[in-house]
Amino acid sequence: MYHLDEFLAMLESEGFKQVHKSSFMGRKWRELKWHTQPEEYHIYWRSPVLVSFDSHEAIWVNGGYVWYNWLPTKSEDVRQLQGYWKDRLWVGHHDCRYGFQDKLHILEQNGVLVCPWVEHNDLWLVNYMERYQENLDVAVTNKTKIATMPEDVGRCISA
């Protein structure tokens, strides 16, 4: 698990910029009961790659994903990545907590990252508490968060 400060420093060293940050009340099971605690949801961008994640205890990266559209030079280059094919394009994502820099460099060295995105049907810009909301509409949540980002980001990822 990444320490939040270390992960933010690593993102910035790779040229990513924060395009969204929001606070929410999380919860933690401790001493046989739920306790609320302040948490953060972050979205970072380096064209055309989006990184979204939330905090745990406000000091750790709880979970999150790297999102992109990628035209690989060889189809076997997708073996370590999650996603799906859209013609010859890999509509991908992967967990941001594991091998972030290695996987980013694999993408850059073995294909072309595409902007604007052609598609991303599984985009999930939802913090860990929002997923418990009754009648959660992920498309509306995504659209609301994208609206807070710079226009160039919205133009690239709004397939």
Question: For 40-96, how does the pLDDT look when each residue is reduced to its tens digit (9 = 90+)?
Answer: 999 999 999 999 999 988 899 999 999 999 999 987 777 778 899 999 999 999 999
Cα 78 from Cα 66, distance rounded (Å): 14
Tokens of 125: 């810009």
Sign of torsion over alpha carbons 152, 14, 74, 97: negative
pLDDT of residue 141: 95
Buried b (16+ CB within 10 A) or exposed e, 17-39: eebbeeeeebeeeeeeeeeeeeb
Instruction: Determine what percent of the chain is predicted with pLDDT higher than 70.
Output: 99
Tokens of 9: 């420093």
pLDDT of residue 159: 64
